[in-house]
Amino acid sequence: MNSYAWVLEPDENYEVLNNRHDTGYKYLLSVKRVFVQLLRSFVRQSWVNNIDEDNVENINKSFILN
């Protein structure tokens, strides 16, 4: 089975946004089950059904790009 991880690295000139919603989104996306459910709900591609929650890896990043 495949393992999936998504990482987006910032460029040199990013600014951290102080948005009160960021904490909520970060929490929701940190729960594997919720993350996989969101993908299956919004991404209408066949590969999404092949994602195994046990193989999803959370990569903790504390920045948000604008």
pTM to 2 decimal places: 0.55
Task: Give yes or no for residue 18 having a pLDDT over 80.
Answer: no
Domain boundaries, the chain: 1-66
**How confident is residue 13, by pLDDT bands cut at 50, 70 and 90?**
low
Q: Are 53 and 36 in contact (CB under 8 A)?
A: yes
36-54 per-position pLDDT tens digit: 998 899 998 999 999 999 9
Residue 4 has phi, psi (to 5 degrees) of -120, 140
Structure tokens belonging to residue 28? 């929701």
Q: Are 66 and 15 in contact (CB under 8 A)?
A: yes
